[in-house]
Copies of this chain bind each other. A is one copy, B any other.
């Protein structure tokens, strides 16, 4: 899952680890608060070994501070990495439908073809519907076996499931009619190709994402 996210971000622009972690935090903030370095660096090493990315010492001319010595490592996606990213984006297995997997895939929907988007949304919906049915069964059949707190937990979970199903229904409907997600304030077109650098972006080189609160 991390692999997909990293390749996706590096496709936009090369980065070093620290930066990558922050971008991951903003892009996947809903899924996972912040990626641990204990995950990030081994994953980067794995991607490098596989040939999807290259590691290189930072170019001192473009990067202002840190007068070398123990320089930063800049990671850059390779052509094979881009292929790999496309493959991962297109395929939708069972792991694509759990919370983490779905979130990552969804975050890159702008670069996913519509058929795959629809497949993923429907798979996710089925997954959530199953969870919902399980909770309904528990609440109906085992209502008296569980204490009030456990019941409240199930009820809250059931509510979240129903809400997410509705959300997915809406997205699926929009998707079928060829519209972008229903963003009340936004009027962007369906954008079949990567719109991640929008006209009007005033910070073309250093994005400076939101602060990382530790």
Q: Smallest distance from the beta carbon of A208 to chain B beta carbons, Å? A: 9
Expressed in whole angstroms, the Cα–Cα distance for A177 and B214 within the complex equals 34
Is B103 in contact with A198, judged by CB distance below 8 angstroms? no
Give the size range of A's interface with the partner: 35 or more
Using A134-B213, A137-B210 as known contacts, say yes or no to A186 and B29 having CB atoms under 8 A apart. Answer: no
Expressed in whole angstroms, the Cα–Cα distance for A157 and B33 within the complex equals 12
- Between A and B, 27 residue pairs with Cβ closer than 8 Å are A26-B142, A30-B153, A30-B156, A30-B157, A30-B160, A106-B149, A106-B153, A107-B150, A107-B153, A109-B149, A110-B147, A110-B149, A137-B210, A142-B207, A145-B201, A147-B194, A147-B195, A148-B181, A148-B195, A149-B180, A151-B181, A151-B186, A152-B171, A152-B183, A156-B167, A160-B160, A163-B163
